[in-house]
Amino acid sequence: MKWSRGHQSSNVVDRRGTRATGMGTKIGVGGGIAGLLLLLLSQVLGVDITGLGGSSSSGNSTSQGATGSSGLDPAKDPDRELYEFISFVFDDIQAKFRAASKEAGKPYQDAKLVVFTDAVDTQCGTSSAAIGPFYCPPDQMAYIDLSFYRVLRDKLEAGGDFAQAYVIAHELGHHMQTLQGIDVNVRRQAERDPSTQNDLSVRQELQADCFAGVWANSTSERGLLDRGDIEESVNAAKSIGDDRLQEMAGQQVNPETFTHGTSAQRVRWFKRGLDRGTLDACDTFTPTSP
């Protein structure tokens, strides 16, 4: 992907090296290597999957949101280029979503991205890096430990800068859902009828994938793509389907426990947003979807 090196974003907060206080409700983590991998890779959006551990990352707590700086010396930062890349991508995605919201006559409020190491305090509780990247609706912040990208590349064979960008776009897709009231509507429906919770979660996750595809469409139109970029993002979406992750964890594939969608569904909805380039194309909540 073509991007501006040295980019600094006012909406990206560097908390690497800052210790979490552990205050508030903690987001649980499954035990064992298989459970850890499953959680890491199924929670690219920050929602717990098959019951191996962890609660949703969308609950309230009294924990502080992320502020401040890590104080890292940029010249000695081994992830300096990656940090600058996700800063560029984060701003670029928000610019697209801000414009799309304006076209739809809806207000847009910028999200923040917190880069942390090991654990972080949020208004959803204290989260471990083992949870993977996630978005917290109460504080409207996305969170990521950069080590996740090494897991994505080495364990799931889904490397590449556009795969990394897809992860960020997916999290900002959840931010769009928060701003548009979709997240709260899903929660209310699930509270009224708990039997629909998994199905609603799948639909919400697939919509975030579709929103990510809408942004990817804009990068194509602006000539920002390099050869192979789209294949990288499609491969990333494919790699984190519920069915594939359950297989990797040595489990029997069980559709009743899906909360993110199959590999095929995730790819299909990402491509739908990519092909059509509009948020209206991303209605995953009709009865015939997904």
Number of domains, the chain: 1
What are the residue ranges of helices labelled H in the chain?
Answer: 32-42, 80-103, 147-154, 161-179, 182-192, 197-221, 229-239, 242-248, 263-276
The two tokens of residue 69 are: 């700086």
**Domain membership flag for residue 283:** no
What mean pLDDT is predicted for residues 53-65?
39
**Domain membership flag for residue 286:** no
The two tokens of residue 237 are: 């979406």
Query: How many Å apart are CA 122 and CA 66, to the nearest integer?
Result: 6
Contact 46, 136 (CB under 8 A): yes
Residue 125 has φ and ψ, to the nearest 5°, of 120, -175
Query: How many Å apart are CA 141 and CA 120, to the nearest integer?
Result: 12
**Domain membership flag for residue 22:** yes
**Domain membership flag for residue 169:** yes
User: pLDDT at residue 209 above 60?
Assistant: yes
Q: Dihedral of the CA atoms 244, 79, 129, 46 (nearest 10)?
A: -60
Question: Residue 290, preceding bond cis, omega within 30 degrees?
Answer: yes
Which amino acid does the sequence have at 164? Answer: Q
24-54 tens-digit pLDDT: 444 432 222 233 344 444 444 343 333 322 2
User: Sign (positive/negative) of CA torsion 30, 36, 42, 44?
Assistant: positive
**Domain membership flag for residue 4:** no
**Global pTM?**
0.83
Cα separation values, 274 from 46, 113, 178, 216, 231, Å: 22, 23, 21, 6, 12
118-159 tens-digit pLDDT: 889 898 888 888 778 899 999 999 999 999 898 888 888 888
**Domain membership flag for residue 32:** yes
Q: Which of 7, 195, 214, 20 is nearest to 91 (CA)?
A: 7
Contact 243, 253 (CB under 8 A): yes
**Domain membership flag for residue 30:** yes
Query: How many Å apart are CA 81 and CA 90, to the nearest integer?
Result: 14
User: pLDDT at residue 68 above 80?
Assistant: no
Q: Dihedral of the CA atoms 145, 151, 153, 157 (nearest 10)?
A: -150
pLDDT bin (cut points 50, 70, 90) of residue 72 is low
What mean pLDDT is predicted for residues 257-272?
91
Task: Tell me which residue range forms the domain holding 212.
Answer: 12-275
Q: Please list, in sequence order, all residues whose beta carbon lies within 8 angstroms of the beta carbon of residue 39, skipping any fewer than 6 positions away.
A: 29, 30, 48, 49, 52, 53, 54, 130, 131, 132
**Domain membership flag for residue 284:** no
